[in-house]
Amino acid sequence: MIPLIKLLVLDVDGTLTDGGVALDGIGGEWKRFDIQDGMGIARLQKDGVEVALISGRHSEATARRALELGIREVVNGISEKLPALKSLCCSRGFLPEEVCFVGDDINDIECIRWSGLGIAVRNARLDVKAFADWITPSSGGHGAIRDVADRIRSLNGGPHVPKSV
């Protein structure tokens, strides 16, 4: 029996976004976030699944998006993600098998391997995909997190999400 996923932890750049960062030359930056990903996150939260972000790059845009989505656990700008993930799980009482981690690049591999459900987005590096339990049909920033949310809801016994025709 597959244990319930109680915590979804997301890398940000390349996973929750398409990996692009627009800089204006005077300190401002812009990132594109997918609205359907946001709906997937909101549905998971409504189902009682907690969501957290762990990003290797500090970004005010990431903090702002987390605030909009009601994501309280944000580690923004950390080079070693696995210790942050383990610390978060320890403080919140989550076992590795209750955790899903989603990433796209080599600094996510340790977290993907440690988590009960490790997922790579479609546009992830090949070496990352090799360690993933599942690869999303959509790319980061283009519905990949909605794919993940729908899969977790299905694994957790939620309503079946039909495949598109």
Please report the pLDDT score of residue 156 as a whole number. 94
Cβ partners under 8 Å of residue 9, min gap 6: 51, 52, 53, 54, 85, 88, 99, 100, 101, 102, 111, 115
Show the low-confidence residues of the chain (pLDDT under 50).
1-2, 162-165
Please report the pLDDT score of residue 1 as a whole number. 45
Tell me the domain boundaries of the chain.
7-155
Please report the pLDDT score of residue 142 as a whole number. 97
pTM of the model: 0.92
Its CATH class, for the domain covering 7-155, is alpha beta
